[in-house]
Amino acid sequence: MAWRERRFLSWLVLVLLLSALIPGCGSAAPPGDGDEPAVQEDAGLPACDLPPNGELCIHFIDVGQGDCILVLLPSGQTMLVDAGDNGLGPTVVQYLKEQGVTRVDYLVATHPHADHIGGMPDVIKFFDIGEVYMPRTTHTTQTYERLLLAIREKGLRITEASAGVVLFDLPDLRAVFVAPVSSGYDNLNDWSAVLRIEYGDTAFVLAGDAEAKSEEEMVSSGVKLTANVLKVGHHGSRTSTTLGFLTAVSPEIAVISVGAGNNYGHPAPETLSRLASAGAKVYRTDLHGTVKVVSDGHSVLVQTEKGAASIETGPLPCCSP
């Protein structure tokens, strides 16, 4: 417990220092009354950019109705999972630039729906790109064609994203696709490339828009799914986050990337209640803005752009001493 408190204190000190030093780096959190820093509400986002300080930092970027997840790896490499809807490209590019990103080492298009790949051609044009991962499926939209064209024009190769494909496997740092498990889905969402990232004792599952069928396959495959943080599938739709999958992941923190007042009724009340019953604390980009999750390999800290307190969790239950 003392370690966690020290860790949290040093984090807040860093945030306050950087806020004071860097113009436009978010408003400094008001000082607490006592020696112990209180949990800060609406404290602005902490510095969590490159070069990394031994931490893995995941930004669930608020792109309205859609997904866009930036992963800054402790190795100094970067990953982008999806890039928001059509028209969001410049916003995403600007956000990445502000974090000090010049190259995206791993670019993942979870599946070909516009709210995931619409902004991706701009990202490909602007940044150096390493590996591009996509599931083996297609779509007939102009949005999808624009993505393929941007990939071709940059001379990039597409690597198939499917269960068991390892992106990297370093000591204490590993990323592997856990879905799609099979091929030939009726529902394009079930083609979603689902990623599990492990850093030290902590883990993260980014579920794309995977729905019940894919979730069932992931659970049946027996692959390790436990995670501190789950990026909830399909914007919190009721057809995702089934009980079996939720039990297998058993997240302490759930992040829902969703647009305010969207036409789909996301997130569904049933899904929110399943998450609550599972004991997961929910963060939503429509309510909290961009959500950042930071891991030092032992514990996880969540910070939100607006309206929520910071919380910290310990290692995965499986890995506790």
Contacting range for Zn ion; rule: CB under 5 A; set: 110-118, 137-145, 150-158, 210-218: 110-118
Q: For the chain, what percentages of helix, strand and coil (3-state, to nearest 5) are there?
A: 30, 25, 45
Pairing of strands 311-313, 69-72: unpaired
Please give the Cα distance from 209 to 193 (Å, whole number). 9
CA distance 46 to 19: 8
Cα radius of gyration rounded to whole Å, the chain = 19
How far is residue 208's CA from residue 36's CA, in Å, rounded to a whole number? 38
Residue 209 interacting with Zn ion (CB under 5 A): yes
* Shortest Å, Cβ 299 to Zn ion: 30
Q: Is the Cβ of residue 209 or residue 305 nearer to Zn ion in the bound state?
A: 209
Nearer of residues 175 and 207 to Zn ion, judged by Cβ: 207
Q: How far is the CB of 242 from Zn ion (least distance, A)?
A: 17
Site for Zn ion in 236-265 (CB under 5 A): none
In angstroms, give the least distance from the CB of 61 to Zn ion: 14
Amino acid at 56: L
3-state secondary structure 125-183: HHCEEEEEEECCCCCCCHHHHHHHHHHHHCCCCEEECCCCCEEEEECCEEEEEEECCCC
Q: Is 286 in the site for Zn ion (CB under 5 A)?
A: no
Query: Residue 115 or residue 201: which is nearer to Zn ion going by CB?
Result: 115
Tell me whether residue 49 or residue 209 sits nearer to Zn ion (CB atom).
Answer: 209
Nearer to Zn ion, 52 or 135 (CB): 135
Q: How far apart are CA 107 and CA 24, in angstroms?
A: 28
- Please count the residues of this chain forming the interface with Zn ion, following the rule CB under 5 A: 2
C-beta of 195: minimal distance to Zn ion in Å? 15
Residue 85 touching Zn ion (CB under 5 A): no
| Closest separation in Å from C-beta 189 to Zn ion | 7
Q: How far is CA 290 from CA 174, 208, 255, 269, in A?
A: 24, 17, 10, 22
> Is residue 283 within 8 Å of 289, Cβ to Cβ?
no
Q: Which stretch binds Zn ion (CB under 5 A): 37-45, 166-174, 206-214, 266-274?
A: 206-214
Residue 115: CB minimum distance to Zn ion, A: 4
Q: Which of 115, 122, 190, 217 binds Zn ion (CB under 5 A)?
A: 115
Instruction: Return residues touching Zn ion (CB under 5 A).
Output: 115, 209
